[in-house]
Structures are given as C-alpha cells and as structure tokens.
Structure 1
Amino acid sequence: MGPIKERIRRPVGFTALLTALLIGAAGCGEPDPFSISEACGTKVDPDLIGQLLPRGEKLKTKDTFSEPKQPRCEFEIDGEERVGLRGDVVEPFVKPLEVKEQTMRRLGNPAPADIGDGATIADHGAMALRSCTYQGEKMQFVLAIDGVEDPQDTAERRRILEKFLRSQLRVAMKAEGCHP
C-alpha cells in the first residue's frame, strides 16, 4: 500500500474510533431525571420536579413531620436528603415572605416573582403564597421548596423553580383543603 492511502486511512480510522467512543460515552452518561407524580400527598408535574432533583440511581420520597395544615416531604437521592418541599396553612396576619427573608437570602439572590399573592425565587429554592379559605376561615397557603442544586445552570434552575411554583401552588392548596 502506498503512503497516500495510508495517510488517508489513519484520519478516517481515528474519526470512526472517536465517534464510537463519543456515542458510547453518551449512552453511559448521567442517569435520566427521576419521574414522580406525587409528593407530600399531592400530585406534581413529573417533568418539572424531575428537573429540580439531582440525578442518581435511587429516589425515595419521605413524608417528614407532616400533619394537617403542614404537608412536608424530603427527596432522598442515593441515601442523601437533597430537596425539601413544604406547605403551610397560616393565619392571614402572618407575613411569610418577611419571616423567611433570611432563609431566602441563604438560598441565594432572592427576587420577587408574580405568583399568587407573592413569591420569592432564589438560586436554590423558592416560596409562594396565596390567600385561601380553610375550614371556613380566611388563611394563607405557603408553598416552599429548598435544597435545589439542579439544573447546574442557575438561570435555568430559577426558571424551572418559578414554573414549578406556578403549576403547584393551586394544586397543593386544593390538596390541603385551602380554597381560593
């Protein structure tokens, strides 16, 4: 075989090998996002919550310290508690966004959002509230999520957190018996 054919064959062979390695690596990458349809006894959008959970092999949802007016759950990934989701029915005079201001600061760069009667979106969590009637009395329902590290891109994470609150606030209120 001549030197010209040999020089052509090497780059073609190298390109084919590199392509095969990249395709193989893509198949062996991160696990797919988790898909769950219920958390804290409430239906959730599996696509949205799945995007906010870290990738892993095993997901366990634990209802923690839940009681009437206070649904709570933690998402445990591969044995480690990672993301918390909480709901609270509170008196109308309570100002949850003010009470939790320090917490939201710790979650990173809190900014107001136009959801319900008020909301705050931070880098690693979010909170929204809405007035409601609970057992015949005027109350408020507060939905909060924290410990969120995924997606890695902060702007994308904040966008998904906002979308999650928009879709989940009314659903969680209704599940807890707090009606607008």
Structure 2
Amino acid sequence: MEEYSKIREMITRTYFLGGKYRENKAAKLTDIVYAGGHINLIENAKKNVDNKNYYSGIAQHWSEHVMAGYSLDQVTFADLIIYNLSVLEEPEDTQYWFPMLYVFGLENPMFSRFAIRLKSAYQLKRFAGLIGDISTNGIYERIQKMVKHSAKDKYRYNSSFDKAPLILDYVKADEIGKLP
C-alpha cells in the first residue's frame, strides 16, 4: 500500500510555479500538463515534422521514445491509472486527466488485470493508498462517482471511436472488494 501512497502524493500534490503561475498559485500535475500551454506546441511540432495526422503528437512521440527503462505498455498503464485516479479524485464536471497514450493500450492486458484484481478485498485495500481513502465506504462513494462518469462521457480522441478505459470497463462496481 505504501508504494501506491507515494504515487498518489506525486499526482495530487501541488507545485508552485513561475510563468503563468507567478503569484505562487498552487497547481496540480493536471493543471501543469494541460493549462501550461505546452501541449499544442508539442502536438503540432510532431505532426508537422512527420507530416502525419496522429491522434496525438505527444502520444506518438512517447511511443517512439519511451521513458528510459520502461516499456510502452508500462507507460501506457501509468497513463491509464492517472486518468482513473483523476476521475476518482477530482470534483465532478471538471477536467480530468486525458490519457494521451490510451490508444496504445487498448489491447494491453496490464490495465485489465489491475482492474479485475480489484474484486479482491486485499487488492482493494492496497489500492486505497493510491486513492487516499482507507475506508471502504469512501472507496465505494468514489466508485459510484466513476459509474456516473462512465455513463455520460468517457474521454476519447475526436478521430477515434475507442474510448479511454475505466476500471469499470473490466469489473462491475458491485463486484469491487467482494472477494477475500
């Protein structure tokens, strides 16, 4: 559970930034990535250099130059975990983390295995460190929030029919934590 808590701290902690955030405003990782204005620059540069219309220039770049020591499957898995955490963590009707690599992970079994393991109460307890709520009731409240999100609008690229997967695409909400 401790390793999940460390990951959660990195994702949800605030950072004090210069530039756009000169007044020492606190910004979370999702704010930095999406509100920092760097996305469009990188997107357009990759698409223009290769002269191709990718779903995402950033995702394509990452898939070609995966972070040292990690496979594309591992990085995609992390991207999907952050997306699912943002749905569980952030207030409803806000901008959630957009998993830019999800199109590379649609056939990746790492995320589906992770989600299915949450049927186990033991695995759910380990996962609780990641979502920052140890109580079973708190976890179930957050899962119900994910149920609402999955029913109305899951994230996807405009040019793709495939949507970014949520945990609930692999396990039903009422099955989570029910096995020993």
TM-score normalised over the length of structure 1: 0.28
Structure with the larger strand share: 1
Bigger relative contact order (CA 8 A; separation at least 6)? 2
TM-score normalised over the length of structure 2: 0.28
Structure with the larger helix share: 2
